[in-house]
Structure 1
Amino acid sequence: MYITIQAFDNMHGPKPLVLNGLVKLVKEPTNKYDSEAIACEMRHYGKIGYVSNSTRTVIIGTMSAGRLYDKITDEYVAKIRFIHKGEAIAKVLTAEEFAKEVENPKSDIHYLFDDLTKLNLEE
């Protein structure tokens, strides 16, 4: 599954979007603008934007936040595969891909989640 990430406009600071960077996906059911909002967080930056949920911003071939919402747990993980200006296409990791990240002691996965055992990644 691929998603579109709309990053915040960050003209005056470092660019958080990095190819192959890990992104923590966090559901925000109390978001006052969108009850299916999914925030995107990265190590060293915190919240960098949201999974797109509008026909204007979802790149063709990727899932909107609304379509993804019921397919993931409250916290999940994706890897940035393509970047263009302020948006990125990220691949939602499978259980196997997640396990490989956990095996790598240098992976950002160890910094993005407080307790990796609480994640229930299903294929």
Structure 2
Amino acid sequence: MEEKELYFTINAVNMFHGIKPYKIGSIIKLVKEPENDYDMEAIRIELRYAGKSGYVANSVKTVAKGTYSAGRLYDKILDEDYGKVIFIIQDTIIAKILTKEELTKEKNNPDSDINFI
């Protein structure tokens, strides 16, 4: 059975480094943040060279059409998981969760910017 591709919107980037560190193809780390004061389903985004860089959108006002909100994505990912930036349109970033196979491929790619901590 083929795994369904899970796309999501990244927002709150201006609270950190802005959109500049994001590039199409960038590997991102997703970290569940249940202790977040504002959202119990918060999922933090980290970039290898920039650290904490945004959050998965979790509001109907910020989630791009056709993508998962943090609330819908929360139980579908590990406490720490990885994704890849697919689209950047103005200040909207769309990424997808990497499958186990895609993650293995990225780990074995010497040009990948994947960050395993």
> TM-score normalised to the size of structure 2?
0.88
SS at match of 1:9: helix
Between Structure 1 and Structure 2, how many residues are aligned?
112
SS at match of 1:17: coil
Report percent identity of matched pairs. 55
Question: C-alpha deviations, 1:23-47, integer Å up to 9, x for none?
Answer: 1000000000000000000011011
What residue number does 1:77 align with? 82
Which letter maps to 2:9? T
**Structure 1 residue aligned with 2:37, among 29, 32, 35?**
32
The 4+ residue runs of structure 1 with deviation greater than 3 A are 10-14
Mapping 1:1-123, distance limit 5 Å: 1-9=6-14, 15-109=20-114, 112-114=115-117
How far off its partner does 1:17 sit? 1.1
Which letter maps to 1:28? E
User: What are the ranges of 5 or more consecutive residues in structure 1 without an aligned counterpart?
Assistant: 115-123
> Is the CA contact 2:17–2:50 (under 8 Å) kept in the aligned structure 1?
no
User: What are the ranges of 5 or more consecutive residues in structure 2 without an aligned counterpart?
Assistant: 1-5
User: What RMSD over aligned residues (CA atoms) do the two structures have, in Å?
Assistant: 1.9
